[in-house]
Amino acid sequence: MAATLANFGKTLLRRRALDCSCVETRFARCLSTLDLIALGVGSTLGAGVYVLAGEVAREKAGPAIVLCFLIAALSSMLAGLCYAEFGARVPKTGSAYLYSYVTVGEIWAFITGWNLILSYVIGTASVARAWSSTFDSLVEQKISGFFKASMTMKVPGHVLAEYPDLFALILVLLLSGLLAFGVNESALVNKIFTGINLVVLGFVIISGFVKGDSANWNLTKDDYISFINSTNSSRLPKVEEKFGVGGFAPFGLNGILSGAATCFYAFVGFDCIATTSEEAKNPMRSIPIGIVASLLICFFAYFGVSAALTLMMPYYQLDIQSPLPEAFTYVGWSPAKYIVAVGSLCALSTSLLGSMFPMPRVIYAMAEDGLLFRILSRMNPRTKTPLLATIASGIVAALMAFLFDLAALVDLMSIGTLLAYSLVAICVLILRYQPGTLSSSSQTEKLVELVEGEKVAVSGGDSGDEYGMETEEKPLRETFTAKLLFCPSGKIPTKTSGNIVYATTAIISLLITVLCIILANCLTELLAGNAAVVVPCVILTLLCIVCFVIICRQPESKEALTFKVPLLPALPLFSVFVNIYLMMQLDWGTWCRFAVWMLIGFAIYFLYGIKNSSEAAKRSSPRKYEPALQTKSPIYTGAADDSDMEAGSSP
């Protein structure tokens, strides 16, 4: 019984052996670094920039919204840097799904991929309905008025929408056709719309600084009372609730942090760049640059728009639904609202394309690995796009946009995205302390395995490099002792040191999760000094510090990459903390819907994926040396070419 459970556990945690030496791909390598930056900016800088700034400024932060975006950008950059390193390390399609598969195992990869699919489907459907709603408002609600009069759907439970959104359905199907037609054409359309969006935002920022008044960043209680009196209000509302204390940060530090948590989601979307690894001309260089550059551009856009908005008019007068048109009306530039409307539609278009672009590529990667139905991995030989995955995902998203009320489902996007961010950060941390190296310059992997006590080069390479010389001096296998936790035996990673980091990372992730649950639910008691909350938090924090020190003491890999995450292990662990804390902020209803989605996913995995997995097929027909290597499940395997493989594996 124990042996059966152990084998089942190994099956769930089997890792994909990644061959990074093969430069051939079924996709068309046609995307430049500029294309990737435009894709990231377009996906991230959606309509939120036209709405979110007004909501956060009025309700949570006031003029200090610029600090909210700064904190949110820094938090998002943590995840972005982790994605950038993996883009330099693993030039394959699949994004966080693939990164999890090669590092922490099949079941985690499936969970990640399955939730990414959900995030992209809901994201696509919700943005399509937002596009339809924005266009409808420009034509004075005539579209919604017609559908409400002739096709009203009154179903209890708020599951279905008030009326079927035919406009959103057609929009998603048209963009699915564009994506199926070819990635070059999609990238061109995205660049055009992103360019228009950035021009409009530039106009907004410049206008704000020209027409703005710095006094709006230093408002007093008297200003607010004068405003209330001028509106002929019959009663004075609670000043602290609507106005705060005035000045630059009227709602204090709590308001800034609360606003930053909301603004964090404004930077979601850059991860679509990570799905282009097999379509970028030079993925190991372009993906890190694309991710970092797109996040920086988005930060400056959000920062500039929020600053301009709060300079143009007092924060307590902002319109939550359409802040920018109201701000331009306030300063006497009413016609500018039409320019804002054009920018908003372009932003929604690029955001929609950004949600739809990665969706079929994640489905394709999972289907190619056998975790989803393999028919979805079929490629169109002419357009070199995953045609069936694109059509299937487009139809599902179009039907959701057509029929469903998505307000209750939008939070599910957050779970999928934050889970992916957390796993990518964990994977980066684990891989940086593992033995073996992947040469990013030549895409040639050099990994030394132990086969029956002897060192065997799985793939060829120059044995005269720094890593090769050090492996001759020290064996890769050693016996575990408690001393190795704080005093490793050498300066290069071994299998034991790698396993120590693997286990310690799992433990600290669990500790962080428990800590975040307490912080999310008992923060008031903690600040009040309640011993029942303070003591567990202190114990958990101390245990996290011990785990952190253990990881710090282990030798780090000397693998040369085009990009590396700095400040290891602090930066990935802090990213994990931020992501898990935000996940714990979600309500119980969202977690129940998440559980239902996962039950559907596990049914597919355990009834189909676990038996049809490509890794299962490989292990059922082992090659030379493979029986001895199966217990280790190497993270990387590969060679520069066939001759190198033969030379490296010959006895």
Average pLDDT, stretch 410-421? Answer: 86
Q: What angle do CA 128, 71, 506 make, to 5 degrees?
A: 85
Instruction: Express the helix, strand and coil content of the chain in percent, nearest 5 each.
Output: 70, 5, 30
Q: How far apart are CA 605 and CA 590, in angstroms?
A: 22
Q: Report how far residue 535's alpha carbon sits from residue 539's, in angstroms, rounded to the nearest whole number.
A: 6
Q: E strand or H helix at 635, and its extent?
A: none
pLDDT band per the 50, 70, 90 thresholds, residue 341? confident
pLDDT in tens, 437-487: 543 333 333 333 333 344 433 333 333 344 444 444 454 567 888 888 998
Dihedral pair phi/psi, residue 450, rounded to 5°? -100, 120
Instruction: Report the pLDDT value the prediction gives residue 441, as an integer from 0 to 100.
Output: 33
Stretch 410-419: mean pLDDT, rounded? Answer: 85
Q: What is the pLDDT of residue 235?
A: 56
Q: Is residue 123 scored above 70 in pLDDT?
A: yes
Angle at 558 between CA 555 and CA 560, to 5 degrees: 155
Which one-letter DSSP state was computed for residue 556? P
Residue 177 has pLDDT above 60, yes or no: yes
Q: What is the pLDDT of residues 125-165, one digit of tens each?
A: 988 988 888 888 878 788 888 888 887 777 666 667 788 88
Confidence of residue 622 (pLDDT cuts 50, 70, 90): low
Q: How far is CA 610 from each of CA 316, 601, 620, rounded to the nearest angstrom? A: 56, 12, 13
pLDDT of 87 reads: 84
Q: What are phi and psi of 319, to 5 degrees?
A: -90, 125
- Interatomic CA distance for residues 286 and 269, integer angstroms: 17
Structure tokens at 510: 């669990």
Distance, in Å, from the CA atom of 314 to the CA atom of 282, rounded to the nearest integer, reads: 47
- What lies within 8 Å, CB to CB, of 470 at 6+ separation is 490, 491, 492, 558
Asked if 553 contacts 485 with a C-beta cutoff of 8 angstroms, the reply is yes
Q: Which helix (H) or strand (E) holds 444?
A: strand 444-446
Q: Give DSSP secondary structure letters for 57-73.
A: IIIIIGGGHHHHHHHHH
- Exposure string for 514-549, b = 16+ CB within 10 A, e = fewer: ebbebbeebeeebeeeeeebbeeeeebeebbebbee
**Span 367-395, average pLDDT:** 91
Strand, coil or helix: 79: helix
- Asked if residue 503 has pLDDT above 90, the reply is yes
Residue type, 26: R
pLDDT range class, residue 22, cuts 50, 70, 90? low
Other beta carbons within 10 angstroms of residue 346's beta carbon come to: 22
Query: What pLDDT, on a 0 to 100 scale, did the predictor assign at position 326?
Result: 87
* pLDDT digits 0-9 by tens, 427-449: 999 999 988 754 333 333 333 33
- The pLDDT score that the predictor gives to residue 382 is 87
Q: In whole angstroms, give the CA distance from residue 328 to residue 264.
A: 26
User: How many distinct helices (H) and strands (E) make up the chain?
Assistant: 27, 4
DSSP string covering 293-355, please?
HHHHHHHHHHHHHHHHHHHHS-GGG--SSSHHHHHHHHTT-TTHHHHHHHHHHHHHHHHHHHH
pTM of the model: 0.84
Q: What phi and psi, each to the nearest 5 degrees, are found at residue 446?
A: -125, 100
Mean pLDDT lowest among 457-461, 542-546, 557-561, 562-566: 457-461
